[in-house]
Structure 1
Amino acid sequence: MDPSQTDKAALRARMRTLRAELARAGPRAGEIAAADLPMERLPAFAMFSGYHASGSEMNPSALIRRISQTGAMFALPVALAKDQPLIFRAWEADMDLEPDAVGVPSPPASAPELHPDLVICPLLAFDRRGGRLGQGGGHYDRTLANLRALKSVFVLGLAYSGQEVDAVPMGEHDQRLDAVLTETGYFEVKA
């Protein structure tokens, strides 16, 4: 196994435990983060995506509601297959969700596919250089690479401040965040 993969596996195990503790200690962290987002610092966008929180991921509901007030179209990610990039489908509050290929509640196949300009993504760990450690399936890395090949996309990581690490081990296919929002603040990654 590649040493960076070993580093990632160890960091994932540690951060899953830590994130669960942070979630228990800060059940309103998502609401606090949403209230403090400096909307004027986001680039212009017509479509954005959030995610359906799973396990101890920070709940993005308040942030989604706040950003929805801009009138931008909203989408949720959908896994069509375990080892494939995600797609994004439009979702509105009156639509039923159904499990996707990995069991995450997602918009139905009848919902239109969108290509968001702003992607809010969950994570296990982040660093100040935009490094993002995900669950290990590579879904967001493949997805962001595909989106960025089509157009400019701003990627906002949503996390507890305690998920920050000095450096996330990054491989050549790992996609960086453009900014991070936590319950203690917002920062943009310097290129």
Structure 2
Amino acid sequence: MILTAPSSPEISVIRQRKADLRSSVKATLARMDRCEVISRSTLMRESLYASELWQSSRSILLFASIASEPDLIPTDFQDKQIYCLRSIHCHYEPVLIFSREDLKLGPRGIREPTRENPFPLNQIDLIVVPGLAFDRKGGRLGRGGGHYDRILGREDCTGKVVGACFVSQIVPEVPREAHDSLVMALLTENGLETV
């Protein structure tokens, strides 16, 4: 769905709604203890790996989670090629990892692949992205840096896109601007659903 460009006052309202929603969801996530994050992540991994989307994909872009995000990187990659984003020349590119040990803390405090050779984005079959909030129309609210919107908005981004979050992060509507990208499915601890 293409959104028309709103006027400046409308943009200010949308951005304020985004900021308010970010604060609210961050407060909810702060109340979740680490054991809860781990147990819900396990349920999410099981649903994802059993899904047709996962089974039919060979090249998969996953995110290296931070403390309040689900951890979806498998311990056994089997026949899958797993990629994570790495900051290369001021933008993010998918880089192949062979194990969790290939991820080290990057300059922005987020784990990144240690290798530097990027993989063509148009050869990624499945892209799983984090977010602070999602809605059931495919709307996604990130942390405000626009990194995933830039990746997902690229012409060479042709993979199927799944948003990953906990059920408590699903909201009735995510405020959206024209540059905000949509996801085609949501993965939560309750399973995978198409939106």
- Shorter-chain TM-score bucket reads 0.7 to 0.9
Deviations 1:43-99 (A, max 9, x none): 8433111111113111213xx347x33x22111111236xx5421100012754333
Runs (4 or more) in structure 1 with deviation over 6 Å come to none
**Paired AA for residue 128 in structure 1:** R
Moved more, 155-164 or 107-116: 107-116
Cα distance change of structure 1 residues 10 and 31 upon mapping to structure 2, 3 Å threshold: same
- Equivalence for 2:144: 136
TM-score w.r.t. structure 1 length? 0.83
Q: Distance in 2 between matches of 1:2 and 1:145?
A: 22
- Equivalence for 2:36: 26
Q: Does 2:131 correspond to 1:123?
A: yes
- Equivalence for 1:57: 69
TM-score w.r.t. structure 2 length? 0.82
CA contact (8 A) 2:104 2:112 kept: yes
- Equivalence for 2:13: 3
CA drift at 1:104: 1.6
Q: Distance in 2 between matches of 1:103 and 1:168?
A: 26
**Paired AA for residue 126 in structure 2:** L
CA drift at 1:153: 1.4
CA contact (8 A) 2:141 2:174 kept: yes
Cα distance change of structure 1 residues 128 and 92 upon mapping to structure 2, 3 Å threshold: same
* Identity over aligned pairs, percent: 28
Cα distance change of structure 1 residues 110 and 42 upon mapping to structure 2, 3 Å threshold: closer
- Equivalence for 2:114: 108
Identify unmatched segments of 5+ residues in structure 1.
Answer: none
Deviations 1:112-138 (A, max 9, x none): 434222111111111000001110000
- Find 2:97's aligned residue among 86, 91, 94: 91
Identify unmatched segments of 5+ residues in structure 2.
Answer: 1-10
* SS class of match (2:14): helix
User: What count of residue pairs does the alignment treat as equivalent?
Assistant: 181
Q: Does 2:162 correspond to 1:152?
A: no
